[in-house]
Structure 1
Amino acid sequence: MRWWDVEALMPLERELFGDTAWSAEMFWSELSHPETRWYVVAENPETTDVLGYAGLLAPGLEADVQTVAVAPHAQGQGIGRGLLDALIHQARERAATSLLLEVRADNEAAIKLYSARGFERIAIRRRYYQPGDIDAWVMRLRPLT
């Protein structure tokens, strides 16, 4: 992801995350730290429309998935899996030994994807997602092999 991608992904960010959506400024701030952050965008090769995006925070041995987003019309096509695999690969490249994430406890499709890639639930954060008082599962992939 580059700074010029942010404008194109903002409608999808708002559609998927509503009141908790990141602002363009938040994305730009993340992109200003390439030494510890890495973001990727999946585009439709014919139209260059944004189909999804994902981000990683990797400051040391423990890395964190910052976001994974796939357009509703593109879900179920392997885009989320490809984005997650890119994050896992990048975490390995940056010498991380584990990868953490939070996922809404009611997001069955995402939990299924993460579990299929070897992530295990290690904790629950009660009422983490607001508004709505939705719990978050904390999941971890370790070791990164």
Structure 2
Amino acid sequence: MIVTQERYGHDRACAAIAGMEPRIFGPDAWTPSMVEQELEAPARTYALDVVDPVARDGTGDGVGNADEGSGGGVVRGYAGFWYDGDDAELMTVGVADAYRRQGVATRLLGWLIAEARRQGARRMLLEVRVDNDPAIALYRRFGFTMLGRRRGYYQPAGVDAYTMSCDLRRHGDSQQTRDPRRTESAAARIGATYNQGDER
């Protein structure tokens, strides 16, 4: 179940993401203060994939507990973008180890693309580690193409990053893509069994 940072609760979202960062990204992880600064920064949109046993529409994951109306529950993954009226920039996508290969990153990315389009973005940009083959393949599946390479982008490891771009206008051919609520289920069908790695 995809919920926004606002619905889940800012403080709880910060705590959940900060706790997951080191396990997902290792030396590239954001510190708790960096997480808080990022989620409080202007023009940010963040979403979380949470376990919700009994959703309001009668569906559910059958695992854990969620607080009705607040988006509470176990966080499986999170993602966010920055949009200031020009391009949208994907800031991060992270999935907990226990929920890899279950379509979590696919659902989150699909939701973000639809929401960025709804906000008016025409293009989405991102950086990804050159050695992160699963994430690169996922991004390609959503229509991202290579722009270039940034040397030593990820510190302290000094790993290069590819820059990638996606024309969001190509994602607007159907109402299912335009509406983030419907994109969650569509994205799950696209890649529910995809091999997801660390996505940043």
**TM-score after normalising by structure 1:** 0.91
Cα distance in 1 for partners of 2:100, 2:155 equals 24
1:95 aligns with 2:129: no
Amino acid paired to 1:26: M
How many percent identity over aligned positions? 37
Q: Residues 14-53 of structure 1: matches in 2 within 5 Å?
A: 14-33=22-41, 36-45=43-52, 46-47=63-64, 48-53=73-78
Match of 1:131 in 2: 156
Structure 1, unpaired ranges of 5+: none
Q: Residues 64-103 of structure 1: matches in 2 within 5 Å?
A: 64-103=89-128
- Residue 156 of structure 2: SS of its match in structure 1? coil
- How far the C-alpha of 1:20 sits from its partner, in A, is 2.7
**TM-score after normalising by structure 2:** 0.67
Deviates more, 1:20-29 or 1:104-113: 20-29
Q: Residues 56-67 of structure 1: matches in 2 within 5 Å?
A: 56-67=81-92
User: Larger strand proportion, structure 1 or 2?
Assistant: 1
- How far the C-alpha of 1:61 sits from its partner, in A, is 2.1
Higher relative contact order structure (alpha carbons within 8 Å, sequence separation ≥ 6): 2
Cα distance in 2 for partners of 1:27, 1:132 equals 20
Match of 1:9 in 2: 17
Structure 2, unpaired ranges of 5+: 53-62, 65-72, 172-200
- How far the C-alpha of 1:133 sits from its partner, in A, is 2.1
Cα distance in 2 for partners of 1:124, 1:100 equals 13
Cα distance in 2 for partners of 1:132, 1:10 equals 20
Cα distance in 1 for partners of 2:32, 2:47 equals 15
How many residues are paired up?
Answer: 144
- How far the C-alpha of 1:125 sits from its partner, in A, is 0.5
Cα distance in 2 for partners of 1:26, 1:127 equals 20
Deviates more, 1:62-71 or 1:123-132: 123-132
Cα distance in 2 for partners of 1:31, 1:133 equals 25
Cα distance in 1 for partners of 2:40, 2:14 equals 13
Which of residues 131, 135, 139 is equivalent to 1:106? 131
Cα distance in 1 for partners of 2:109, 2:85 equals 19
Cα distance in 1 for partners of 2:132, 2:28 equals 16
- How far the C-alpha of 1:60 sits from its partner, in A, is 1.3
Amino acid paired to 2:46: Y
Cα distance in 2 for partners of 1:41, 1:101 equals 19
- How far the C-alpha of 1:98 sits from its partner, in A, is 0.3
- How far the C-alpha of 1:94 sits from its partner, in A, is 1.1
Deviations 1:64-101 (A, max 9, x none): 00000011221111110000011101110110110000
